[in-house]
Amino acid sequence: MALLKSSKIISTVWVHPPLGVRSIRASSWWSEVQMGPPDPILGVSEAYKRDTNPKKMNLGVGAYRDDQGKPYVLSCVRKAEAQIAAKKLDKEYLAIGGLGDFTKACAKLALGDNNEVIESGRNITVQTISGTGSLRIGANFLSRFHTEARDVYLPKPSWGNHTPIFRDAGMQLKAYTYYDPKTCGFDFQGALNDISKIPEKSVIMLHACAHNPTGVDPRPEQWKEIANLVKKRNLLVFFDMAYQGFASGDIDRDAWAVRYFIEQGHNIVLSQSFAKNMGLYGERVGGFTVVCKDAEEAKRVESQLKILIRPIYSNPPMNGARIAATILNTPDLYKEWLGEVHGMANRIITMRELLVANLKKEGSTQNWQHVIDQIGMFCFTGLKPEQVARLTKEFSVYMTKDGRISMAGVTSGNVGYLAQGIHAVTK
Amino acid sequence: MSLFGEVPQAIPVAVFKLSNDFKDDPNPMKVNLGVGAYRTDEGQPWVLPVVKKVEKIIVADNSLNHEYLPILGLPEFRSSASKIALGEDSPAIQENRVGAVQCLGGTGALKMGAEFLRRWYNGNDNMKTPVYVSAPTWENHNSVFANAGFEDVRPYKYWDAEKRGLDLAGFLGDLETAPKHSIFVLHACAHNPTGTDPTHVEWMQVAEVMKRRKLFVFFDSAYQGFASGCLDKDAWAVRYFVTQGFEMFCAQSFSKNFGLYNERVGNLTIVARDADNVRRVLSQMEKIVRVTWSNPPSQGARLVAITLNTAELFAEWKDNVKTMADRVLSMRASLQAKLQALGTPGTWGHITQQIGMFSFTGLNPKQVEYMIKERSIYLMASGRINMCGLTTKNIDYVAKSIHETVVNVQ
C-alpha cells in the first residue's frame, strides 16, 4: 500500500482528467485564495535544512537542544510515561476544562504553595493547548467579556504570534516601549512613560520572565514600580509565562513577578506553557488562569471559559497533561524535574558566557555584556539585518532577521565557530 | 469592583451535565445512555487492543521525542487519515488534489474548516453565507459555525418525527430553496443524534441538487467503521460526492473508531480542483492553526499513523472496529426484540433500522424525565440513547423501564 506523503501532494505533475470531466473542473471555489506568506521562523529552518555546509547552525529554533545539539527528552518525563503506561488508564474524554490533577498543580506551580488565591478558590485554571491555546482562550475571553476596552498593549517587541492571536480574537493591538536597542537592554523609563499614558482598563501584556524575543527582563525593583504604575492606571494585566524555570533555573524566582502582582492586588489573567520547561512541545500542555474577586465569580468565569472552549476543540488532549501532572504531583519526580530544568537553564547560561569569552578571544572590541545579562532561550544580539544576512550567507548561521538567536542551538562544539562568524560581521 | 462582575453564569453543556447527574445518582440500577462513548458488555470503557499494542511500540522507541509537529500536523497521519475517508484508490488522491490538516478531534476539524470558509469562501470574511445543519444535529455544530463568525446558521429538514425516519422531501426541498453557495453540514454516516442515514439512492439525489445549486459540501465523519462495521461501506457517501467532482471538506474524528477520545485525534480532509488550489488553501489553513493552537498534539496522531501504515496493525484495527459495531448491532436487535415481546405500545422497528451509536427512541421530554427521575436511566431530553450504554446485564431493566414509561407517561 503506497503511502501518499503530504509533500507529494504539492510537488507532483497535474494529471489531465478525461475530457468529459474537464468542464466541471474549470472553476474552483478557491481561485481567489492567495498564497499565505511564509512563516518567518519556519523559513529559517527550511533554509537551514537545504544548506550543505557541515558547519551550519540553526539558531532560529525555539526548542531546547542538549550539548550535542539534539532534542532532549527529560528523564522525569520518561519516568512519568512509564508510570502512566503501567496504570492502564482509559481514554475517556477529559472535562472541557481539562485534567483536574493537572490544572490544580499548574496553578500551584505559578502562584506558589499556600497561595491565598488558590486557598480561597478565587482562581479558575483551565487546561489549554500549550501557550498558544492559552493565549487564544484568554484573548477570546477578554474579547467577549472585557467590553470596557478593546486594546491590548504589547511590549515592543513581543513574540510574533501575540499580535495575530489577539487580532483574530477581535482585540486591537498597541505597544509600549520595552527594548532599548542602544543598550540591548530594558528601556525602563521609556516603558514607564508609555505605560503612564495607557487608557484605563486596557489590557497590558507582560512577559513573566525570559522575555521573547529579547531575553531582557525587568529587575525586581523595576517590576515593583511597574506594578504600582499599572495599578494607578487601572490596567488589566495579562501575564505570559512560557519559560518558568527555564530563565534563571529556579521556578520560584521566575514566577516572582506574577506572584508579586497578585500580592499587590492585581487580579491578573495568566498563560502558562510546559512546552519548554518540561520539553513537552508537541504534547501541547498549557494552562490559562483568571484570578477573580472570589470563588463565586470564579465559578461564573469557569462556566464561560467552557462555553468558549467547546466550539474550538471540545476538550483538551490527555497525554501531555497526564505527564505534567504526574511530575508535578510525585515528590521525587518533581525534585528530579527541578534539577533538570536547572540543568537546561544552566547550559544556556554557560553558552552565553562562552560566547562572550570567545568573542573576546577573537579580538572583538564590541560590548557583548548584554549577551550575558539577557536571560532565557533567546538573545537579541544587536546584529543588524545586513550583518545577519552575511552571517547566514558566509557562515551558514541561521537566525531571524531581527538579530535574535536561540541560545539553545549553541553548543560547546560550535560556540567558537559562532563567535568567529559574529566577530567577522561586526568588526 | 471586579472587571468580571457582569460575567453571567453560563448554562452547562447538556450532555456533560447529564453525566454529572448520573455520577451523583446512588441508585445501583442506574444506567447512563447519555455521552457518546463506546462501552463493553461490562459497561466499561474499552481501550482497543491494537491501541495498547501501538502504545507499547511508541514507549519502547527511544528515537521518538516530544518535539513540535509541523503546523498542519504529522504528515504520515494526515495522508493515511485522508486515505481512510476517500479510499486508497480515490481518483482525487491519484490526481494530487487532496490536502489535510491534523486537528484536535472532529470538533477541531470542523472548527478549522469553518474558520477557513468564513475567511475565504463566497467572498472574503463573508459572515452572511448561510450554514445549514440538520434538524436535529449534534448540538455543537451550531456553536462551531457561529463562533467562526457565521451569522446565519439554519436547520435543514432531516428527521421526520412522525414516521421516525428521514424527511427526504423536506431535505431536498431545503436544498432547492437554500441561497446559492450555502454551506451544508452533512453527516457522512451514523447520523447524530437520530441514527438515520440516507440510502445510496437518496444520497445521489442530494448530490444532484447540491451540484446544480452550487452548495458547499462539508461532511462530518465521526463514526467511520463504527456504523456498519465496515470502513468502506461507511464512507460510501463521501466517496460518491468525490466522484461527482465536488470540491469539499470532510471533518474526520478518530475518537470513536479508535477509542482515542481524550487524545483529540482529528483530520480535516480537503478535496479541491487541483494541486495548486490545495497548496494555497493549506497555506491559509496554516495561518488559522497558528493563531488557534500553533500545532497539534503528537501522541494520538502518531498512534493512528503507525496503525494505519502497518499492515498487520491495520487489519487488527479493522477487526477491533467490527467488534464494537457488532456489539452495538446486537444490542439494537435485542432491545427491539424485548420491546416487541413486552408488547410496548408503538412501533420499534426504527431501533434496528437506525445505525451507529445513537438511537432516537421517540420518547418525549416528559417520558425522558420519568426515565431519569423514576428509573435512574439517563438519556438526552431529545430521546436520544447511546446504544453502547446497553449491556446484556441491563437491557432487561431498560426495556422494562421504556415499557413502563410509555404506558404510564404521555
Rounded CA gap, A309 and A137, in Å?
7
Contacts of B15 (CB under 8 A, 6+ apart): B34, B35, B36, B139, B380
Helices (H), A155-294: 162-168, 188-195, 220-232, 251-254, 256-263
> In chain A, what residues touch B45 (CB-CB under 8 Å)?
90-92
Measured between beta carbons, which residues in chain A are less than 8 angstroms from residue B284?
A: 33-34, 36
pLDDT for position A390: 97
Whether the predicted pLDDT of A379 surpasses 60: yes
The whole-angstrom distance between B296's CA and the closest CA on chain A is 7
pLDDT at residue A45 in the model: 82
Chain A and chain B share a number of CB contacts under 8 A equal to 266
Query: Catalytic: which of B220, B317, B338, B348?
Result: B220
| Nearest-by-Cβ selection for A28 from B4, B260, B273 | B273
Confidence class of residue B19 from pLDDT cuts 50, 70 and 90? confident
Residue A7 clears pLDDT 80, i.e. is over it: no
The half-sphere exposure of A184 on its side-chain side, counting CA atoms within 13 A, is 21
Which residue of chain B comes nearest to A73, CA vs CA? Answer: B65
> pLDDT tens-digit profile of A106-116?
999 999 988 99
- Residue B297: is its pLDDT beyond 50? yes
Identity at A82, one-letter amino acid code: A
> B138 an active-site residue?
yes
> CA-nearest residue of chain A to B37?
A92
Annotate B316-338 with DSSP letters as a single string.
HHHHHHHHHHHHHHHHHHHHHHH
Residue A19 forms contact with B (CB below 8 Å): no
Nearest CA in chain A to B314: A1
Taking CB atoms and an 8 Å limit, are A77 and B66 in contact across chains? yes
CA distances from B97 to A35, B73, B142 (A): 16, 18, 29
Element (H, E) at A42: helix A40-50
Nearest residue of A to residue B140, measured between CA atoms: A311
* Chain B touched by A86 (CB under 8 Å): no
pLDDT of residue A32: 78
pLDDT at A38: 73
Check whether B10 has a pLDDT greater than 90.
no
List, in order, residues 6 or more apart from A335 with CB less than 8 Å away: none
What is the spatial distance between Cα A314 and Cα B7, in angstroms, rounded to a whole number?
A: 21
Gap between the Cα atoms of A268 and A235, Å rounded: 10
- Distance set, CA B56 to CA A41, A81, A353, B74 (Å): 34, 11, 42, 20
Measured between beta carbons, the chain A residues lying within 8 angstroms of B299 are 283, 317, 319-320
Pairwise CA distance, residues A322 & A127, whole Å:
11
Ramachandran assignment for B399, one of left (phi > 0), alpha (psi -120 to 50 degrees), beta (any other): alpha
The whole-angstrom distance between B136's CA and the closest CA on chain A is 17
Percent of chain B with pLDDT over 90: 90
Judge: B263–A317 Cβ closer than 8 Å, yes or no.
yes
Highest mean pLDDT among A27-41, A57-71, B201-215: B201-215
| CB contact A200 to B (< 8 Å) | no
Q: What is the pLDDT of residue B2?
A: 65
pLDDT for A236? 97
C-alpha closest to that of B30 among B378, B408, B392, B380: B378
**For residue B356, which of B380, B329, B335 has the smallest C-alpha distance?**
B329
At residue B278, does pLDDT exceed 70? yes
Contact B93 A4 (CB under 8 A): yes
Which position among B83, B111, B138, B174 bears the catalytic label?
Answer: B138
CB atoms within 10 A of CB A361: 12
Pairing outcome for strands B153-157 and B159-160: unpaired
Residue A223, classed as helix, strand or coil, is: helix
| Calpha distance B256→B265 (Å, rounded) | 10
Greater pLDDT, A147 or B201 = B201
Gap from A263 CA to chain B (nearest CA, Å): 16
Q: Which residues contact B329 (CB under 8 A, 6 or more apart)?
A: B229
Query: What pLDDT band is residue A15 in, cutting at 50, 70 and 90?
Result: very low
Q: Which pairing describes strands A179-180 and A285-291: parallel, antiparallel, or unpaired? A: unpaired
Mutation site for B-interface testing, chosen from A3, A13, A29 by largest number of B Cβ within 10 Å = A29
Closest chain A residue to B217 measured between Cα atoms? A29
User: Which chain B residue has the Cα nearest residue A144?
Assistant: B7
CB-based contact, A317 to chain B, within 8 Å: yes
What was the pLDDT predicted at A14?
38
Residue of A284, A293, A315, A340 to mutate, testing the B interface (most B Cβ within 10 Å of its Cβ) = A284
Check residue A8 and give its pLDDT.
Answer: 38
A5 in reach of chain B (CB within 8 A): yes
Note which residues in 169-208 of chain B have CB less than 8 A from chain A.
none
Please indicate whether residue A14 is annotated as part of the active site: no
Model confidence at A11: pLDDT above 50:
no
Could you tell me if A395 and A420 are in contact, meaning their C-beta atoms sit under 8 angstroms apart?
yes
Q: Whole-angstrom Cα distance, residue A63 to residue A396?
A: 19
What is the Cα–Cα distance from A257 to A241, expressed in whole angstroms? 10
- Put simply, whether A49 touches B (Cβ < 8 Å) is no
* Chain A residues in contact with B97 (beta carbon < 8 A): 9
pLDDT score of A399 more than 60: yes
**Alpha carbon of A400: minimum distance to chain B alpha carbons (Å):** 18
Within 348-387 of A, beta carbons closer than 8 Å to B belong to: none
CA distance B397 to chain A (A): 25
Q: What is the pTM of this model?
A: 0.94
**Torsion region of A282: left, alpha or beta (phi above 0 gives left; psi -120 to 50 gives alpha):** alpha
Q: Considering CB atoms only, which of B56, B96, B105 is closest to A12?
A: B96
Tell me which chain A residue has its CA closest to the CA of residue B259: A91
Q: Which amino acid is at A154?
A: L
How high is the pLDDT of residue B36?
Answer: 78
- The whole-number pLDDT of residue A12 equals 39
Query: Residue B337 has what pLDDT?
Result: 97
Say yes or no for a CB contact (<8 Å) between A306 and B10.
Answer: yes
> Rounded to whole angstroms, how far apart are CA atoms A214 and A196?
23
Please name the member of B47, B66, B103 whose beta carbon is closest to the beta carbon of A91.
B47
> What average pLDDT does chain B have?
95
Name the nearest CA neighbour of A246 among A282, A204, A212: A212
| A35-49, A117-131, A403-417: the lowest-pLDDT one | A35-49
Contact residues, chain A, for B291 at CB < 8 Å: 132, 136, 161, 164-165, 168
Per residue in A168-217, pLDDT tens?
999 999 999 999 999 999 999 999 999 999 999 999 999 999 999 999 99
- Residue-wise pLDDT for A245-273, tens only, equals 999 999 999 999 999 999 999 999 999 99
A182 is catalytic: no
Give the one of B13, B282, B297 whose C-beta lies nearest to A282's C-beta: B297
Contacts of A267 in chain B (CB under 8 A): 2-3
Select the residue of B7, B66, B140 nearest A301 (Cβ to Cβ). B7
Stretch (H or E) spanning A286:
strand A285-291
Q: Is B6 on the interface with A (CB under 8 A)?
A: yes
Query: What's the grid cell of residue A400?
Result: 531571524
As a whole number of angstroms, the distance between CA B349 and CA A51 comes to: 67
Cβ neighbour number for residue A411 with a 10 Å cutoff:
18
Among A28, A279, A313, the residue with its CB nearest the CB of B264 is A313
Cα four-point dihedral sign A359, A360, A363, A364: positive
Compute the CA torsion angle B398, B403, B409, B410 (nearest 10 deg): 120
CA closest to A64 among chain B residues: B67
The complex's ipTM works out to 0.94
Q: How confident is the model at residue B7 (pLDDT cuts 50, 70, 90)?
A: confident
Asked whether residue A4 carries a pLDDT value surpassing 70, the answer given is: no
> Which candidate from A12, A35, A317 shows the least CB-CB separation from B275?
A12
Closest-CA residue of B relative to A95 is B16
Asked if B3 lies within 8 A of A33 by C-beta distance, the reply is no
Interval B32-61 mean pLDDT: 93
Give the Å distances, CA to CA, from A181 to A59, A178, A419, B108. Answer: 20, 10, 21, 41
Q: Residues of A numbered 122-151 whose beta carbons fall under 8 angstroms of chain B's beta carbons: which are they?
A: 129-133, 136, 145-146, 148
Query: How much is the pLDDT for B130?
Result: 98
Give me the catalytic one of B157, B256, B317, B338: B256
- Closest listed residue to residue A355, CA positions, set A405, A425, A415: A415
Side chain identity at A238, as an amino acid letter?
F
Cα–Cα distance for residue pair A259/A272, rounded to 1 Å: 14
CB within 8 Å of chain A, chain B residues 15-74: 16, 35, 37, 44-45, 47, 51, 55-56, 59, 65-69, 71-72
pLDDT at A34: 83
